[in-house]
Amino acid sequence: MTIKIEEKIEKKSIGIIGFGHLGQFLKVELGKSQQFVLKKIWNRNEDAEEGVLGLDELNAENLEGLDLVIEIGSPTALANRQTLKEIQHSLKQHNNRSVFIPSGALWGAKDIQKMADLGTLKSLTVIMMKPPTAFRLPALSSDSLPELGALHKLCEESRATNQPKVLYDGPVRQICQLAPDNVNAMACAAIAAHNLGFDNTRVKLVVDPMLHNWHIIECEIGGENGFRTRTRREFAAQHGGVISGENTLLAFLSSIKETLYKPPGFNIC
C-alpha cells in the first residue's frame, strides 16, 4: 500500500515598489506562482483598480507580514557611498535579514562574486553597446555637469554620422551618477566584484546606430596567474531598444525565486 502525503507549502508574501513595465510583468507572473503571493504594490501614482497604493502609504503597517519587498529601482543607487554604507550597517544590526541584487542582464555575476570572495579577482571590465535610441540620458539643464553634456553630444554625433562612438571609459561610480538609467549591469558587476568595487571596476559604454534594437554586454575578467575569461551576451530589447527584452524580464523573475535559497546578508541572485 502506498500512502501519499501532501506537504502544504507556505507561500512567501511579497510587496512590490514600482509598477512600470517590470512591475506589471512581475504581477502577472507572481500571480501564477506556487511559491509566492503578491500582497502589496506601491507606485508613484496610485491606481485603485489595479490595487496599487501610493508611496505615501509605504509604511510599517502596510509592510507588516511581508517576507520580501521588491523595489523596482536601479542598483546604481548603491554607487552612492553613504547609501551602501547604511545598508551594510543595517544588515550587521539585523543579521537575519537579506538584501538581494538581481543580476539582470549581467552574465556570470555569481562567478565574479565567487572570485571576489576568494580575493582572486584582479580586474573586471564591462563593455556595453547599445543603439542611440536605447540611451536614456537625463535632460540637460543649467546646472548639469559638463560630462553629461559631452554624453549628449557624442550620442548626437553617432546619430548624425551613423558611426559608433565611445561615450565613456572609466570607473563604474562616475557613470552611475551621470547616466543611472543605462548602466544597471555595470552597477551589478561592481557589487559582485566587491573587492574591486565601484572605483576599480571599469566600464566602457559604446553607442552604435547599426545595432538597431540590439544590446550587447561583454565582460572581461582577470584573475591570478594570468587567468582571463570573456563573456558576451546579445539580446533584443523592445520598443526601439528602450525596454528590456523578455530574457532580462525572466532573469528578474528567476532572481526572485532564488531568494528562497539564499543566506542572510548581501546576495547576488
The domains located in the chain, with CATH, are 106-243 (3.30.360.10)
Residue 241: per-residue pLDDT? 47
- Answer with the residue of higher pLDDT: 193 or 267: 193
Mean pLDDT to the nearest integer, 62-73: 92
Q: Which of 193, 141, 155 has the alpha carbon at shortest distance from 172?
A: 193
Q: Which of 216, 176, 218, 227 has the alpha carbon at shortest distance from 198?
A: 176
State pLDDT tens for residues 1-11: 555 555 556 88
Mean pLDDT to the nearest integer, 7-22: 85
Q: What pTM value is reported for the model? A: 0.85
Residue 239: per-residue pLDDT? 55
Distance CA 259, CA 98 (A): 9
Residue 137: per-residue pLDDT? 83
Is pLDDT at 46 greater than 80 in this prediction?
yes
112-126 per-residue burial string, b: 16 or more CB within 10 A, e: under 16: bbebbeeeebbebbb
Distance CA 126, CA 61 (A): 41
State pLDDT tens for residues 240-251: 544 556 777 888
Distance CA 168, CA 185 (A): 15
DSSP secondary structure, 178-209, as one string: H-GGG-HHHHHHHHHSTTTHHHHSEEEEEE-G
Is pLDDT at 171 greater than 60 in this prediction?
yes
Helix/strand/coil for 26: helix
Residue 244: per-residue pLDDT? 56
Give the bridge partners for 170, in sequence order. Answer: 203
- Answer with the residue of higher pLDDT: 242 or 191: 191
State pLDDT tens for residues 199-236: 999 999 999 999 988 889 999 999 999 999 999 999 88
Residue 50: per-residue pLDDT? 86
Residue 193: per-residue pLDDT? 96
